[in-house]
Amino acid sequence: MRECFLAVTEAAAGDPALTDDRPQWFGHPAQLARLFSTEAMERFGYYGMRALLTLYLTKHFLFSDTTTTSLYGGFTALVYLTPLIGGLLADRYLGSKKAVKFGAVLMSLGYLTLCFGGETAKPFATIDGQRYEVVVAGEGDAERQYVVDGGRQLAIKGNDDGSVSLLGPDGSEARRIAKGGFASQGERSPWFVAIMLIGLSAVTVGNGFFKPNISTMVGELYAKGDRRRDAGFTIFYMGINLGSLGSQLACPFLAEAYGWWAGFGLAAIGMALSWGLIQFAGPKLAGYGETPAAEGPDRTLAIYAGALLAVPVMYLLFTNLMAAPPPVAGEGIVGYLLGLPILGKVLFFTFLVSVIAIPIWSARVGTRQEFEMMLAAIILVVFNVVFWTLFEQAGSSLTLFADRNTELSVFGLFEISAGQTQFFNALFIVLLAPLFSALWKALGNRGLEPGIPIKFGIALMGVGAGFLLLVWGTSFAGPDFKVGLIWLAGLYFIHSAAELCISPVGLSMITKLSIARIVGMMMGVWFLSISCAQYVAGVVAQVASVETVGGQVTNLKVSLDTYAGVFQTIGLISAGIGLVLLLGSPLLKRLMHGVK
């Protein structure tokens, strides 16, 4: 990364006399380069691990789609829930810098723990209450699953009506099992499942300390009213995706070439480098993210000990999530909420309390203007839930769609793996982020930049349009019920453009609309909204679940139709909600009192 120390002076929009005499990096404070690199390496680790996780659960542990998407959604939800606490602890006791370093250590250890997954689970099937051995033969598209029945190997074929046919060597149907009578399972070691959950738990807690506070440090680089803030957060956001771009290619490659341990090991190395960048920053970050002055004894060690004790708490939440029965139809919204696992209840009620209590608190301690600005922030946070619920299908249902119903050949030259398809998002962010940064800056100089609510509305309509594009692509699927890779890449292109309209803008919005003394907690609330979205995303992905045996679907046509139906529904809903937000943007603009 090249640092350019230029004698750049740029006037802030609110005060033309305000100048910045600090060393500069591409027109921004030079410290942005260090934070950019730190976040890039942290995201290298996280997204490298995420590119593997869903496939690791379905192919190594042989969990069903329902269990996999539930666990994946719960994990990503907790990754965004813990920043609510991590931001608060940093605001009051640790300071952002110390919190970031501690979080980096925990996350690196978590990725390292995931390297120890043991042997692949052994598949078996339960047919009408009786257990049968399952063998898997072949590789790739030629892979087939067979039930061993009395010494015979019968091929498994799912039917459109939900029943399962067992086929003899000549292709004739030897046996048909009615819908619900065939259950595919895996015999896995409880010990290695526990190790995997401990690793995810450590990552969850560590991220709570890292994620909100690195963003808060970026906000500290800019004075109030500095018009470079949005552009700075967009550059910072490009760093996130620059890091993830490399890992989403490298980690799946190593996992396929050498084993799952190699992919997770590379993620651990990336996270360790992130820690090194902030640990050895020296005077470059002096004065930013420092420990706040506080009365009483130093609570640092107590907070670290509490964080380590939180790891088994996360573990229990994961086990509860995996054991929770699916909701029963007909019980209504109250029955559904009461039937949620512990994590679902915690997320729902924490978010509900936050969006109600924070405006009330703001009305009591702040001015009318501060209250209205905080109210606008909370309203936008609620819309943020919708966006990330749909966008975060990338790591679950879209990855499984890529594995099952996408032709992964790149112009017939070579093939990529399903996990590597997630790199499209990072690639397009890296390519588009400079353009969006320049666009917002140019429009801002001319007074034409769209307001934050309009950007949010565009993002919601965009994420819906991406899904509708992919649904259109399914109509061109071949006889193998697979769509061309170009359609999935098109979805990620539209989603990436939509993401740039909401995510870096949202981070900047929080720092501009929040009352100064709780900006860290508000950053946590922002991530809490994403946490709720991640959980709901897991529920949506469960709706798209299909029957698998030994990690492979039994009927690709049913799989394609299921994904297309779910993607069409959520695409239309998102586009409609985005339109509602665009229509309501004038009201939100008044509540924001000139904040852009």
Q: Do you know the residue count of the chain?
A: 596
Q: Is 164 helix (H, G, I), strand (E, B) or coil?
A: strand
Instruction: Report DSSP letters for 497-558, one per residue.
Output: HHHHTTHHHHHHHHHHHS-GGGHHHHHHHHHHHHHHHHHHHHHHHHHT---EETTEES-HHH
CA distances to 214, 234, 255, 269, 553 from 274, rounded to whole Å, are 11, 20, 22, 9, 38
- Provide CB contacts within 8 A for 38, sequence distance 6+: 100, 214, 274, 277, 278
Q: So what's the pLDDT on residue 142? A: 67
Nearest to 42 by CA among 268, 310, 280: 268
Six-digit token string for 504: 């870096």
Six-digit token string for 551: 């990690």
Classify residue 327 as exposed, middle or buried by CB count within 10 Å of its CB (0-12, 13-18, 19+): middle
DSSP summary character for residue 12:
B
Domain 24-120+188-591, CATH homologous superfamily name and number = MFS general substrate transporter like domains (1.20.1250.20)
Pair type for strands 409-410 and 406-407 = unpaired
If you search the block for the tokens 């290695």, which residue do you land on?
A: 192
Q: So what's the pLDDT on residue 102? A: 94
Q: So what's the pLDDT on residue 294? A: 67
CA distances to 97, 198, 303, 390, 396 from 50, rounded to whole Å, are 25, 16, 28, 17, 10
Residue boundaries of the structural domains of the chain: 24-120+188-591, 122-187
Give the C-alpha separation, 166 to 168, whole Å: 7
Q: So what's the pLDDT on residue 12? A: 37
Give the C-alpha separation, 292 to 176, whole Å: 68
pLDDT tens for each residue of the chain, 596 residues long: 333 322 233 333 344 335 666 767 767 887 888 888 898 899 899 999 999 999 999 999 999 888 898 899 999 999 878 887 888 888 888 888 899 999 999 999 999 999 999 999 998 888 888 888 888 777 766 677 888 887 788 888 888 777 888 888 888 888 888 887 888 888 999 999 999 999 999 999 999 999 888 888 887 888 777 777 777 877 787 777 778 888 999 999 999 999 999 999 999 999 999 999 988 887 787 777 777 776 667 888 999 999 999 999 999 999 998 887 665 544 555 666 667 788 888 888 888 888 888 888 888 887 888 888 888 888 898 999 999 999 999 989 999 999 989 999 988 888 999 999 988 988 898 888 788 878 877 887 888 888 889 999 999 999 999 999 999 999 999 898 999 999 999 999 999 999 988 877 777 788 788 777 677 677 778 778 888 888 888 888 888 888 776 667 778 888 899 999 999 999 999 999 999 999 998 898 888 877 76
Give the C-alpha separation, 524 to 178, whole Å: 49
Residue 176 forms beta bridges with which residues? 165
Give the C-alpha separation, 426 to 420, whole Å: 11
Give the C-alpha separation, 568 to 470, whole Å: 9
Q: What is the pTM for the complete model shown? A: 0.83
CA distances to 229, 355, 435 from 566, rounded to whole Å, are 38, 29, 32
DSSP summary character for residue 393:
G
